[in-house]
A and B are shown apart, each in its own frame.
Chain A
Amino acid sequence: MKPRQQRMLAVGLAAVGVLIATALTLRAFEENMMFYIEIADVAEGKVPQDRNFRVGGLVVENSVKRVPGELELEFTLTDLNEELVVLYSGILPDLFREGQGIIAHGRLNDDGDFVADTVLAKHDENYMPPEVADSLARHAPDKAADAEQ
């Protein structure tokens, strides 16, 4: 092969490599990107099919129920307007409390309950996840102001 052909071949191979890598990365990006869905939209059934998404809201007071001695539990999330039942099995984060804002990752089951595989609560007593603060402000502005007190 002439040097020029060699160079063209090298450039061509590099371009193909970059293309494949880009395609793989974008695909992985699409698969792993998780949308935040508001509880109001979940109630209307506007959720991504067959993939995880995130929901957030306040944990309703006295809604945490578990069978004594078992890891499974359920609780209710609210945006102060609509509610969503969340099922979870595992260890809750340190700052999970009733009345606190939390975020959960998971998807809906056939009964329309949210099955969470991850529950997140930030490490700050006064912290309100920004998504949750936004939804609250949108759906119940007066109550949200109270809740942030």
Chain B
Amino acid sequence: MIAEIGHFALILALSLAICQGVLPLLGAHRNDQSLMAVARPAALGQFVFVIVAFACLSWSFLNSDFSVKYVADHSQLALPAIYKFSAVWGAHEGSLLLWIVILSAWTIAVSRYSQELPEAFGARVIGVLGLLSCGFLLFTLLTSNPFERLIPAPLDGADLNPLLQDPGLAIHPPILYIGYVGFSVAFAFAIAAMLSGHLDQAWARWTRPWTTWSWLFLTVGIALGSWWAYYELGWGGWWFWDPVENASFMPWLAGTALIHSLAVTEKRGLFKSWTLLLAITAFSLSLLGTFLVRSGILISVHAFATDPARGLFILTFLGIVIGGALALYAWRAPALDSAAGFRPLSRETFLLLNNVLLVIATTLVLAGTLAPLLIEVLDAGKISVGPPWFEVAFAIPMIPLLFLVGLGMHTAWRTQALQPLLRQLKVPAVIALLVGGLLPGLVYGRFGVLVTVGAIAAFWVMSVALIQPIRSLRRAKGTPGITRAAFGMSVAHFGVGLFTLGVTIVSAFTVEADLSLSPGQKVEVAGYEFELRSLKNLQGPNYQALEGEIDISKDGVFIGQLRPQKRTYLVQQSPMTEAGIMASWNRDLFVALGDPLGNDAWSVRLQYKPMIRLIWLGALVMALGGIIAASDRRYRVNATARQKAAVPSGEPA
């Protein structure tokens, strides 16, 4: 009964989504107030029914209703309650439903916080979001219904994939999706602007906070995914250039470019059509990513063909959304652009370079991800593109970008004289060269080209990011301090520096050893002694495990014990490695059990990972910068002021 209610709620949500998608757009076109007024109530109604459907599916999971096929396939009686709940989005059907819920929530947020938008514009934005929602609801209902029944119901379910039974992965998809789906708002703003044929600086000011919020969620989502892969996949890597990871990374890169391009559009009214194109690209890549991950095409081109209904729908939907948006772009965008000059040495130039480099990086990642698929489709053999390629290809545009960050941040709009810029940047440059050039070698005892370049870039970005906040602290009384937007930018760029430093140090100075250890045996890795004390069996709620006790000491002083496990999940009989990790600010010690080697010995992987925490810390600091920037006063104050005065205010603060 509950499942049928959920199914029915989804159908009602679809009907409302159709109203929300069609009527307001029609109303905006005909300037018909009553049709435009449908937008907000329809969005609210759709949200309610989507939530009902989601609640029904969650209820089915929590009560282990195995007569629902999706529940039977992805849950089991002994599964802990939290994972029964997170199993809702553990596979294809449920994650589509989660996507729809989040899209609907973003729509509600837009209709709530964008009251000051011109009526026709708001109606168009909500209408476009409604159309996207239609597509996803249709896809779910026609090809991937999570409420499909399985009669007779099995006595127990097939269990959730053990990899997903982890707190990190329980929250990773929702956060990531909030980011992914958030780009639909920027997309809808872009489409609405092109439909109305009107794009001014106010448009960029409305779009910016939404873009920044979704970007920062995406940042946190990707960082969570990387952190999870690090401790749960068992082998200590933090990024694998796996197609699934790339699928989330491409929209991030395009979104980062969009944030920077929006800054130019807001402040200077330039790059308008470019910004529109990036908004379309960021969202298209989100869609592409979702479908790449969810359609099975990555496992094999043939798996895609085994379910032609899904494949065909996906391709058609992608074709309509991306093709439609680009067609509209080709038709309308040229009329929107405005010409204004800027000198070669100006912030505009640096932001242009930023965009070019980020787009190159996105294209390279896309090429590397799709090349194996393309070559297989063309029947030209089977290849794989490994991480080394991505590392080289990604570094080519990124290293110059890191050095340009510092210049761009301190260059004025329109035109900048060279001498004052150089004078400002002298101190950070000296700091970067000295600290970045010497510190890694002094601390870790080895110099290298890549380490030096990476560390100099990292300290350069961090020190230039500090200039403005420091100057603001030391300013004379009564003079205005740094704006939130500028402070947010400094914080986010500081995060980029931390991240770069983490990546550089981890890549260069990780020590990794695969060894054979038997109980009582001691080995030394990177100055730490690891002693395997014992191995014992233990019983978890839905798994059995073998646990190793490994004592770690440094210079003869005991510093702690790690207990890595080798688990066997009972229902699926699948083995899992649970690593033992001892974390501290400047290094992680990582221990994972391999296989029994005979004679009581086990293969063990021991790793020393210096500064790895900086990678995720850097990402969090970037996101924090995003929060600070998105909460800048002008996004709220100017909006209200404009509503009162009904005259657009001039250049924003």
Contact = CB atoms under 8 A, between A and B. Distances in A.
A81 to B, nearest CB: 19
B572 interface: yes
A133 B503 CA distance: 38
A92 B599 CA distance: 18
B385 A66 contact: no
A28 B299 CA distance: 24
Contacts of A25: 364, 392-393, 396
Contacts of B448: none
Nearest to A10: B344
A70 interface: yes
A66 B575 CA distance: 21
Interface string B17-48: 00000000000000000000000000000000
Interface in A1-41: 6, 10, 21, 24-25, 28-29, 31-36
A42 B603 CA distance: 30
Counting chain A CB atoms within 10 Å of each CB, the highest count among B234, B393, B514, B572 belongs to B393
A28 B395 CA distance: 12
A29 B389 contact: yes
Contacts of B344: 6, 10
A70 B597 CA distance: 6
Interface string B579-619: 00000000000001011011101010100000000000000
Contacts of B573: 125
A28 B389 contact: yes
B350 to A, nearest CB: 14
B576 interface: yes
Interface residues of A, number: 30
B385 A69 contact: no
A45 interface: no
A10 B356 CA distance: 15
A1 to B, nearest CB: 12
B321 to A, nearest CB: 29
A139 interface: no
A91 B603 contact: yes
B597 A66 contact: yes
B598 A68 contact: yes
A131 interface: yes
B511 interface: no
A83 B472 CA distance: 71
B384 A33 contact: yes
B516 A34 contact: no
B393 A28 contact: yes
A91 B382 CA distance: 26
B396 A130 contact: no
A130 B300 contact: yes
Contact of A33 (B299, B389, B397, B595): B389
Given A24-B392, A34-B383, A90 B514 contact: yes
Label chain B's interface by main secondary structure.
Answer: mixed
Specify which of A29, A34, A91, A124 lies most central, judged by the most chain B CB atoms within 10 Å of its CB. Answer: A91
A6 B381 CA distance: 47
B95 interface: no
B462 to A, nearest CB: 26
A36 B396 contact: no
Nearest to A14: B356
B597 A33 contact: no
Interface residues of B, number: 43
A31 B371 CA distance: 14
A131 B384 CA distance: 11
B516 A71 contact: yes
B382 A36 contact: yes
A32 B515 contact: no
A68 B234 CA distance: 24
Instruction: Tell me the dominant secondary structure on chain A's binding face.
Output: mixed
A71 B383 contact: no
Contact of B598 (A28, A54, A69, A92): A69
B445 interface: no
B386 interface: yes
Contact of B396 (A24, A34, A71): A24
Interface in A40-66: 54, 66
Contact of B574 (A28, A92, A95): A95
A94 interface: yes
B388 interface: yes
Contacts of B577: 94
A47 B434 CA distance: 49
Contact of B514 (A32, A54, A91, A130): A91
B396 A35 contact: no
B384 A71 contact: no
B303 interface: yes
Interface in B482-537: 514-516, 518
Given A34-B384, A66-B598, A123-B574, A21 B234 contact: no
A33 B383 contact: yes
A34 B386 contact: yes
B302 interface: yes
A91 B302 contact: no
B163 interface: yes
Contacts of A91: 514, 592, 594-595, 603, 605
Contacts of B303: 130
B514 A71 contact: yes
Contacts of A124: 574
Interface string B333-344: 000000000001
A21 B597 CA distance: 47
Given A36-B382, A69-B599, A123-B574, A94 B515 contact: no
A130 B299 contact: yes
B360 interface: yes
Contacts of B515: 71
A70 B601 CA distance: 8
Nearest to B397: A21
A51 to B, nearest CB: 12
Contacts of B364: 25
A69 B518 contact: yes
Contacts of B386: 32-34
B366 to A, nearest CB: 13
Contacts of A95: 574-575
B599 A68 contact: yes
Contacts of B163: 123
Contacts of A34: 383-384, 386
23 contacts: A10-B344, A25-B392, A25-B393, A28-B388, A28-B389, A29-B371, A29-B389, A31-B388, A31-B389, A32-B389, A32-B392, A33-B383, A35-B381, A36-B383, A68-B599, A69-B598, A71-B514, A71-B516, A89-B514, A91-B605, A92-B595, A95-B575, A131-B382
Interface of A: 6, 10, 21, 24-25, 28-29, 31-36, 54, 66, 68-71, 89-92, 94-95, 123-125, 130-131
The 6 closest A-B pairs by CB, nearest first: A68-B598, A91-B594, A32-B389, A130-B300, A36-B382, A69-B601
